[in-house]
Amino acid sequence: MIMPFIQILGYNVFDPLEVTPELIADIGTKKGEKVDYAILKDGQPIMLFECKKAGGDLNINNASQLFRYFHVTAARFGVLTNGLVYRFFTDLEQPNKMDEKPFFEFNILDFKERDVEELKKFAKASFDLDTILTTANDLKYTRAIQNRLAEWMTNPPEEFVRLISYELLGNKRFTPVVKDQFTLITKRAFEQLLGERINERLKGAMTPEKTLVIEQSAPIIPSENTSEPQVVTTEDEAEGFHLVRAILREFISPKRIVMRDAQSYCAILLDDNNRKPICRLRFNNPQNLRLGIFNEKKEELLQPLESIDDIFNFADQLKATISSYETAAKE
């Protein structure tokens, strides 16, 4: 199962210069220690695979070899797998020392669309060390929080129930009876909220898609070429615009964030002012989504996006841009 998985990522398993089985990784006085599989780029290992028996336990205590190999090779990613589940590790916490917890896990029998998008980053055609490391930290903690919230939905812990009920109880004491009551209420509230969100998504999916046409704010000058293409705002651009609004709504009123579309990009402005660009959505090519963010000199820096949701990865930069405009306005 491991070789087909590596092959799906685009690597030639029959080329020992690209995929090397039993790569020798000498460790201290131990000579001849071997990595099960190593994926190479320019002669250097970029990913190490330690393989366990099919369906075997992937407890971190069974990954001692991978820890040692990671320390003595140039690879930045270690993969612990039993052929069905693939756990990806790196050195986010301490340089050159593999973390004890994976930042990404892929189960070939149980995966979501977002898991596939993350896995694509490790494919030969799109592998970029800096891009993966940039998102790995957020991904690691995002997954951890998602797992914790999923646990709380089915079995809310006392500390969480106490926190939720604190402002609602007023002067009432958090007695065992109150605890049991609010535990059930919290669980029911989670279930209802989740159900409502699912219904909203289903309603949205059943609503016919509409293409938004944004009128140009400047006067339209008649053109001799009547076949000149019209500026059309796509659904992707509209979704990106709403994501930016969602990111910044805690800092400024969403009404101040305005979208102005053009042929080559979709501009998102503060107060509909060209001198206050927040970002640019360069989504004309769906296979090459890019986000243009601005530095202190208002120079545009293009950032590749695997999906529209990746805009959240640049929340800090977008907030910093807004902050700079607001600070300048007060001076």
When pLDDT is averaged across residues 3-9 and rounded to a whole number, the result is: 91
The predicted model scores a pTM of: 0.49
The predicted structure's pLDDT at residue 175: 86
pLDDT of residue 201: 66
Domain 235-330 has what CATH class? alpha beta
Please tell me the predicted confidence (pLDDT) of residue 86: 94
pLDDT at 7 over 60: yes
**Residue 293: what pLDDT?**
94
Better pLDDT: 201 or 18 = 18
Alpha helix locations (H) across 207-251?
A: 235-248
Residue ranges, comma separated, of all CATH 3.90.1570 domains in the chain are 2-145
Query: Percent of the chain at pLDDT above 90?
Result: 22
Rounded to an integer, what distance in angstroms lies between the CA atom of residue 93 and that of residue 76? 13
Q: What percent of the chain has pLDDT over 70?
A: 88
State the pLDDT confidence band at 106, using cuts at 50, 70 and 90. Answer: very high
Average the pLDDT over 3-7 and give the result.
91
What is 2-145's CATH number, 1.10.600, 3.40.190, 3.40.50, 3.90.1570?
3.90.1570
